[in-house]
Structure 1
């Protein structure tokens, strides 16, 4: 089985081999280091100057990438830790995103900003955040996240095909997990590019969970415990596109919806999903959509304290049980 980091690395190799207009920029992305999480390993040795290690300036990295995209090439830029994307906020939101429409005609800006994100590794407050919510609602900007269900090569093609800058989040813990293929309890299928994980033949679930890629395994662990210990059947929907929120399939019969988001409480992706779902489901929901988020606080480095702040399988299970009680 292939780990997610290996899968991403192969997708980047295939992309750069098939499209000579693609450039990759970032801190320490060149060999022999190959990036902080080794996702770019081997690329500079194979593709030479199209892969460049840069100075430690996230604003400059994003700005050069956007310039390459405006000039007719394609650019992938890596922010070593997603926390540092705040240093590139101006270039992404005020230059790259606006450049798609502020010149009097549509202008393609094929730029992908890769952001290793998330905690549960003991990296502390400045290297563990999920900053997705800060980019929701920016005109001209799309958000995606790697999942263990989606083919990374297809996602890169999809993002570049939009002709607009995209943030691509990749959970650091997910890097070490295998691409999802089968399970002893649940099966999955892709429906309109959204992964649906469910108990085969179970009928209408008690709760439909919606989450992003980095929370898949914690949510699956919660689903397993809810089924085996609480006799509650859940299904899971995992979109690779976070924003604009895509149409989520199979919700017409949903008894209850719970959105699980690793970002801190307040102005969250989970709230954006709920806002998109309410007009569609209002007449059928038994109760308000449940939102599960990390706590409103900085992320500690001590593992036992970090677990208390970030969403865990047991907190997902507890929230579903409470909602259905």
Structure 2
């Protein structure tokens, strides 16, 4: 099963499991089924509860919040994750705060799905990874998935939580087959690659190259819940490994790498480095875009530099 098919199955399960559940988004009705086909078949199966919206992300998420307050769970599709900035107010100042403001007497069961990431040549406004701007918001859970994630469980838990969730789906991962292999197979690794979302595939490929070309044992740690960030859990997964490399597509600074570094503060003696996206907008050239975002060559080089530096 491909990732997009598993997401689609999870949405069908969400709708079938609750007669009050709704899905809202732009161009999500059949036969189109959404820009990436995640909602294919939903409007046919549940014609009264799959709502095609006008082009207004603020309006979509605002309406979803209102419906949730009336006891109707809603899953929102944002066509491209880059457009998530248009509903920042609804995410940060409305749905995430309302339960606290009303002393948990109300619930806001909204899950917002957003395709993120580059390497498809979509350029500066359609290839970004903006999830870090929504991490650290009290009351909002931010999750990222890849083909190596337990997608069925993650979506089921998000829908069952009845709390605001933002789920980040990497666009390249949609076409990948769900992969249940153990990506952290070594009991005593030389280094760990800590990552999430679409960069997980890059790290898995880099770990294989490090084993084949350098005889280095690298474990990949995929973090699925970005916020709240489980620092204690990450430290446990890192264990005694002396070298940690953080990998993310987002621009450097105030992001995933910073949270990994924060977790390592309580683990003295670890060598640490980061691989990130470029410190400027994504160019409108697929080859240039692919070369600038984290790739296997980049991760392998950074891993070797990290280990060489730690042994000097």
Superposition TM-score tier, normalisation by shorter sequence: over 0.9
The Cα offsets for residues 219-246 of structure 1, whole Å up to 9 and x where unpaired, read as 1111111111112110011122111112
2:246 aligned to 246, 253, 259, which one? 259
In structure 2, what is the Cα distance between the partners aligned to 1:219 and 1:323? 15
Cα distance, 1:19 vs structure 2: 1.7
- The reply to whether residue 240 of structure 1 matches residue 224 of structure 2 is yes
In structure 1, what is the Cα distance between the partners aligned to 2:153 and 2:104? 28
2:259 aligned to 246, 258, 272, which one? 272
Contact persistence 1:15–1:153 (CA under 8 A): no
The Cα offsets for residues 192-213 of structure 1, whole Å up to 9 and x where unpaired, read as xxxxx134xx541110111102
Contact persistence 2:10–2:156 (CA under 8 A): no
- The reply to whether residue 308 of structure 1 matches residue 291 of structure 2 is yes
| Superposition CA RMSD, Å | 1.4
Contact persistence 1:81–1:115 (CA under 8 A): yes
Q: Which moved more, 1:157-166 or 1:78-87?
A: 157-166
- The reply to whether residue 198 of structure 1 matches residue 172 of structure 2 is no
Q: Counterpart of 2:194? A: 210
In structure 2, what is the Cα distance between the partners aligned to 1:111 and 1:167? 9
The number of residues matched between the two structures is 305
Contact persistence 2:121–2:287 (CA under 8 A): no
Gaps of 5+ in 1: 183-187, 189-196
Closer, same or farther: CA 286–140 of 1 in aligned 2, 3 Å: closer
In structure 2, what is the Cα distance between the partners aligned to 1:106 and 1:213? 34
Given the two structures, how large is their TM-score scaled by the length of structure 1? 0.90
Contact persistence 1:12–1:153 (CA under 8 A): no
What secondary structure is seen at the aligned counterpart in 1 of 2:184? Answer: strand
Q: Which moved more, 1:95-104 or 1:117-126?
A: 95-104
Cα distance, 1:106 vs structure 2: 4.7
Cα distance, 1:103 vs structure 2: 2.1
Given the two structures, how large is their TM-score scaled by the length of structure 2? 0.94
User: Once superposed, which parts of structure 1, at least 4 consecutive aligned residues long, lie more than 6 Å away?
Assistant: none
Contact persistence 2:193–2:219 (CA under 8 A): yes
